[in-house]
């Protein structure tokens, strides 16, 4: 039973930097300078940066299929499940609004209310923990052979 913490740690670090970049660029530049009309261009760049993090992670873990799969799945799930939105407000030290209407079209978010987004994030993080257990913690069915003299 081999445990490997590199993929979830790498995904979390990538998500942290992704979220801080979101705060710095969206809030500090676009909102501050009232450039909301450029939101679609911003969101395209936001996705490109996420794909860049994903490619770097896969290149660094190349050759270990479980690590690559888990890293990719956990990075994208955490980015779109509401976890990134929760982190956004935690890292920015601002209260999360009662409703997040920009998440209305996201199929991974159960409800656009604060409670719904936090609940969605918890559900998907739990799903990632189950996936981790399946990939890394389950017994692979092989019984170790005892060698005796």
Looking at per-residue confidence, does 24 or 59 come out higher? 59
CA atoms 47, 81, 116, 5: torsion sign: negative
145 within some domain:
no
Q: Is the pLDDT of residue 143 over 70?
A: no
Looking at the domain assignment, is residue 91 inside a domain?
A: yes
With respect to residue 147, please indicate whether it lies within any of the assigned structural domains. Answer: no
| Structural domain total, the chain | 1
Q: Could you tell me if residue 50 is inside a domain?
A: yes
The pLDDT of 24-38, averaged and rounded, is: 81
Mean pLDDT of the chain: 89
The mean per-residue pLDDT over the stretch 118-132 comes to 97
Domain that holds residue 124: 6-137
pTM of the model: 0.84
Confidence of residue 13 (pLDDT cuts 50, 70, 90): very high
The tokens of 125 are what? 């993080």
Range name among 54-58, 114-118, 133-137 with the lowest pLDDT average:
133-137
The predicted-structure confidence for 67-113, as pLDDT tens digits, reads as follows 999 999 999 999 999 999 999 999 999 999 999 999 999 999 999 99
Residue 142: pLDDT band with limits 50, 70, 90 = low
Name the percent of the chain lying above pLDDT 90. Answer: 71
- Whether 65 is covered by a domain: the verdict is yes
**Element housing 68 (H / E):** helix 65-80
Q: Using CA atoms, how far apart are residues 22 and 79, in angstroms rounded to an integer?
A: 11
Are 10 and 71 a contacting pair, CB within 8 Å? yes
According to the model, what pLDDT value does residue 1 have?
41
């Amino acid at each position: 039973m081999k445990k490997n913490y590199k993929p979830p740690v790498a995904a979390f670090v990538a998500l942290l930097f992704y979220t801080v970049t979101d705060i710095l660029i969206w809030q500090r530049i676009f909102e501050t300078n009232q450039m909301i009309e450029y939101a679609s261009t911003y969101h395209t760049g936001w996705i490109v940066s996420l794909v860049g993090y994903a490619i770097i992670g896969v290149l660094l873990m190349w050759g270990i299929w479980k690590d690559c799969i888990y890293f990719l799945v956990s990075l994208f799930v955490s980015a779109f499940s509401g976890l990134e939105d929760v982190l956004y407000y935690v890292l920015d030290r601002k209260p999360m609004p009662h409703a997040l209407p920009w998440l209305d079209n996201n199929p991974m978010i159960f409800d656009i209310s604060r409670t719904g987004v936090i609940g969605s994030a918890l559900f998907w993080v739990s799903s990632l923990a189950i996936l981790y257990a399946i990939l890394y913690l389950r017994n692979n069915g092989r019984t170790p052979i005892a060698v005796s003299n």
